[in-house]
Amino acid sequence: MTKIKLCGLRRAEDIEAANLLKPDYIGFVFYKKSKRYISFEQARILKSMLKVKAVGVFVDENPKVVADLLEKGIIDLAQLHGSEDEAYIRDLRKLTDKPLIKAFQIKTAEDLKKAEASSADMILLDAGTGDGVSFDWNMLKSFNRPYFLAGGMSPENVRPAIEKFHPYGVDVSSGIETDGVKDVEKMRAFMTNARFDG
């Protein structure tokens, strides 16, 4: 069954909705320039209420900071969404054995080759940085590695995307928001439409 990640949760009511809907993962965004940014302390409080796995989303963060949050259990996985390279991943692995997701912005076939070669435990294929835009998913037809599909995901397109491309997982953020805030009904619709295959 396709894994589901609801990203950019920030409020207690977002966590309550996630506990009810039971996605496989939720995401906390630790990038200060993001409108979905939360502090490490906010994440710690929200994680104490959470019943599913939490992914921390980072952009070029100090590996020691990432590892510390993983080792303290504030997050269960780390998603690297910046320019982190193989050397960065090696450095981080010296500090933690927790799972790592590397996000790649896909614009060309060359970007897909880089993603396929990544040493991260999982990869995420995106178009941008949480702005709700998708890339040309048809580029994925000959892609051989399991991946999270992100960028422009919504309750309306998640089922056709899963049926056509069979991603390991789907990741949504802006597609489950109304006026920049997580919308429980959209969260529920996304989960329902993504869960048809299981």
Whole-angstrom Cα distance, residue 183 to residue 188?
9
Q: Given the residues 7, 14, 76, 171, select the one marked as catalytic.
A: 7
pLDDT of residue 130: 53
Return the CATH number of the domain spanning residue range 3-197.
Answer: 3.20.20.70
109: buried, middle or exposed (CB in 10 Å: 19+, 13-18, 0-12)?
exposed
Is 85 catalytic? The answer is: no
Distance CA 177, CA 184 (A): 8
Query: Which residue do the tokens 């965004």 mark?
Result: 29
pLDDT tens column, 45-61: 999 999 999 999 999 99
Residues 149-169: what's their mean pLDDT? Answer: 94
Active site residue: 14, 76, 126, 171, which one? 126
Distance CA 49, CA 74 (A): 11
Vertex 157: Cα angle to 154 and 162 (nearest 5): 110
Catalytic residue list contains 68? no
CA dist 149 and 19 (Å) reads 22
Q: What is the pLDDT of residue 196?
A: 80
Q: Which two tokens stand for residue 160?
A: 């056709």
Cα 192 vs. chain centroid, distance in angstroms?
18
Closest CA to 167 of 189, 197, 187: 197
pLDDT of residue 136: 84
Q: What percent of the chain has pLDDT over 70?
A: 96
pLDDT tens across 8-24, in order? 999 999 999 999 999 99
Two structure tokens written together for 145? 């590695």
Those residues whose C-beta lies under 8 Å from the C-beta of residue 3, and which sit 6 or more positions away, are 24, 25, 148, 168, 169, 170
Give the pLDDT confidence score for residue 57 in this predicted structure: 98
